[in-house]
Amino acid sequence: MQDKVWIFDTTLRDGEQALKASLTEEDKIQLAHTISRLNVDVMEVGFPVSSPADFRAVQRIANEVKGPAICGLARAMPKDIEACGLALKGAQQPRIHTFIATSPLHLQHKLRKSLDDVIEMAERSIKQALQYTDDVEFSCEDAGRTPFDDLCKVVDRAIRAGATTINIPDTVGYTTPDEYAAIIHHLRNNVANIDKARLSVHCHNDLGLAVANSIAAVQAGARQIECTINGIGERAGNCSLEEVAMIMKMRQDHLKVHTGIRSEEIYRASRQVATICNMPVQPNKAIVGENAFAHSSGIHQDGVLKAQNTYEIMAPETVGVPNNQLNMTSRSGRHVIEHRLSELGYQAADYDMDQLYTSFLELADQKGTVYDYDLEAMIHFNKLAEQDEFYQLQFVNASSNSQSIASATVGMSLGEELSQEAATGNGPVEAAFLAIERITGHAVEVIEYNLEATGQGASSLGQVNIIAKFDGRQYHGAGLASDVVEASVRAMIRVYNLIDRARKVSDLKQQRKAG
């Protein structure tokens, strides 16, 4: 029977310490429900003494969220423990987590206390916490820089005082995996009562080693990992929950441990944390980044099409990502194009691959990603036709100020015909998009809107990139202008022109079928 490693999520406590604006009570409740769906064992949700709002948030989560143990953080101080105990009163399984630093640096400069003073404070706090719950965790802050002998002494006394979990934080992300594993080994071999408590680890990512250190500690016998979704947390962040959970799932053969995490809930949780915390995930982030299951180069795409596990060690659905992505770029090869076209209903006889691939590379070099509608246009117009665009911008006139509703008037030609419409909106861009919608007679769903300044200083141009969805398909439009509303309108008109072209392509397809 393999050992279970407990997952202690601290997104709502250590994770929150990294945010520019603290989470509201409602944000915390929403995230707490999401985190509990991951089936974590413990959820640290705040620091009740720190503010009345955090006290209320911890209290509400303790009352409302069932499943994991609900934990609050407290310094080794009576008022902190009391606030924590009161806030957690409604929890089915309350855990009080109390901590104090043990490294010489923190003792001398921050706490200005001796090791013995700190041990006494820890003992008093653990005993006080036990009046509220029998589940008490104690952390030796900055354990990573604490001498072994001191650490053993503190841990021994904390367990004797009644702590049921002992946490060994690498608070400043200083240790390397072998050093960190050695600390865990040393404690297991030199603290007589160590088996009376669960040994936990809490790693920070200052040198990018939080995940590696946590796994090394598990290999050395630790049985709880403290971590956060997307790895958010103080400074460079904490150990990332999704990474350690998936390492232990995918490499159970090697590590011989398991967790209770429901991995299919990971992606949803990651997206929600990124949105609510306003901390976007980097595209190349393991497990949850936009590119984690995307393949862009021809050799990889060919491999994945032949056998998915050639370049994917786990299926995207395992972590709740709906599907992998095969991006068509100038690094793509013929196999992926053929595959995509067959998904779109084309057979090899419908096109000349050599000719198509030449046009494809030309276009991909120009614009980066080639979309379905580009591929179809290349087939039907042989090469991407620089045909006259049906919709042309004549003018855009927008106004907005802090006191009134934004409005815009847009004038466009539709072939020979001229048309203009006005609309109001939350901002001038939205108003202009609504005016375009009225002119064209159909609405698109904007999935991504990206505005960047191109150039330097005040003479920069605004470049707008839009990804919009119409009739189940995505279209990409780009617009460049000194005025950001005009750049947005140009990008949107490009989208409408691509939709128009896709429609013409579809008519041609129908005619070919009929003929």
Ligand X SMILES: CC(=O)SCCNC(=O)CCNC(=O)[C@H](O)C(C)(C)COP(=O)(O)OP(=O)(O)OC[C@H]1O[C@@H](n2cnc3c(N)ncnc32)[C@H](O)[C@@H]1OP(=O)(O)O
Write the interaction track for ligand KIV spanning residues 101-120; mark x where CB under 6 A is met and - where it is not: --------------------
Closer residue to ligand KIV in complex, CB, 60/75: 75
Nearer to ligand X, 77 or 250 (CB): 77
| Min CB(142)–ligand X separation in Å | 8
Q: In which residue are the tokens 């140009």 written?
A: 490
Residue 50 near ligand X by CB under 6 A: yes
Listing DSSP states for 434-485 in one string gives HHHHHHHS---EEEEEEEEEESSGGGPEEEEEEEEEETTEEEEEEEEESSHH
Q: 268: burial class by Cβ within 10 Å (0-12, 13-18, 19+)?
A: middle
Q: Which residue is nearest to ligand X (CB)?
A: 50
Question: What character string, x for contact with ligand X (CB under 6 A) and - otherwise, covers 337-356?
Answer: --------------------
Helix axes 25-37, 266-276, angle to 10 degrees: 170
Does 138 bind ligand X (CB under 6 A)? Our answer is: no
Question: Could you tell me how many residues of this chain bind ligand KIV (CB under 6 A)?
Answer: 10
Q: Is 171 in the site for ligand KIV (CB under 6 A)?
A: yes
Q: Which does 76 bind (CB under 5 to 8 A by kind): ligand X, ligand KIV, Mg ion, none?
A: ligand X
Cβ-in-10-Å burial (0-12, 13-18, 19+) of 21 comes to exposed
Q: Of 73-81, 253-261, 306-314, 389-397, which part binds ligand X (CB under 6 A)?
A: 73-81
Among positions 2-41, residues that touch Mg ion (CB under 5 A) are: 14
Contact region with ligand KIV (CB under 6 A), list: 106-114, 164-172, 280-288, 317-325: 164-172
100 binds ligand X (CB under 6 A): yes
Partner from ligand KIV, ligand X, Mg ion, none contacting 414, C-beta within 5 to 8 A by type: none
- Of the residues 50, 139, 175, 440, which one makes contact with ligand KIV according to CB under 6 A: 139
Residue 17 binds to ligand X (criterion: CB under 6 A): yes
Amino acid making up residue 85: G
Residue 190, burial from CB neighbour count under 10 angstroms (0-12, 13-18, 19+): middle
Neighbouring C-beta atoms of residue 63, cutoff 10 Å? 15
Q: Does 171 participate in binding ligand X (rule CB under 6 A)?
A: yes
Applying CB under 6 A, does 168 fall inside the site for ligand X?
A: no
With binding defined as CB under 6 A, does residue 169 bind ligand KIV?
yes
157 interacts with ligand KIV by CB under 6 A: no
Query: Is residue 477 a contact residue for ligand KIV (CB under 6 A)?
Result: no
Selected from 41, 137, 141, 242, the binder of ligand X by CB under 6 A is 141
- Distance, CA of 430 to CA of 419 (rounded, Å): 19
Q: Which CA distances in Å does 101 have to 79, 96, 122? A: 18, 17, 10
What residues form the annotated binding site for Mn(2+)?
14, 202, 204, 238
Q: Which of 99, 180, 293, 391 touches ligand X by CB under 6 A? A: 99
Task: Kindly state whether residue 99 participates in binding ligand KIV, applying the rule CB under 6 A.
Answer: yes
Instruction: List the one residue from 5, 11, 12, 14 that touches ligand KIV (CB under 6 A).
Output: 14
Q: 10 or 400, CB closer to ligand KIV?
A: 10
* Ramachandran assignment for 271, one of left (phi > 0), alpha (psi -120 to 50 degrees), beta (any other): alpha
Q: Is 180 in the site for ligand KIV (CB under 6 A)?
A: no
Instruction: Render the burial of 88-127: b for 16+ CB within 10 Å, e for the rest.
Output: beebebbbbbbbbbbbeebbeeebebebeebbebbbbbbe
Question: Under rule CB under 6 A, which residues in 356-395 are in contact with ligand KIV?
Answer: none
The CA distance from 290 to 306, in Å, is 23
Burial degree of 56 (CB within 10 A; 0-12, 13-18, 19+): middle
Asked if 234 touches ligand X (CB under 6 A), the answer is yes
Binders of Mg ion: how many residues, by CB under 5 A?
Answer: 1
| DSSP of 269-318 | HHHHHHHHTT-PPPTT-TTTSTTTTEE-SHHHHHHHHH-GGGT-SS-GGG
State the amino acid at position 436 in one-letter form: I
Residue 376 makes CB contacts below 8 A (sequence gap 6+) with: 344, 502, 505
| 121 HSE (CA, 13 A, CB side) | 23
Contacts to ligand KIV by CB under 6 A: 14, 73, 99, 139, 141, 167, 169, 171, 202, 204
Contacts to Mg ion by CB under 5 A: 14
Contacts to ligand X by CB under 6 A: 14, 17, 47, 49-50, 75-77, 99-100, 110-111, 141, 171, 234
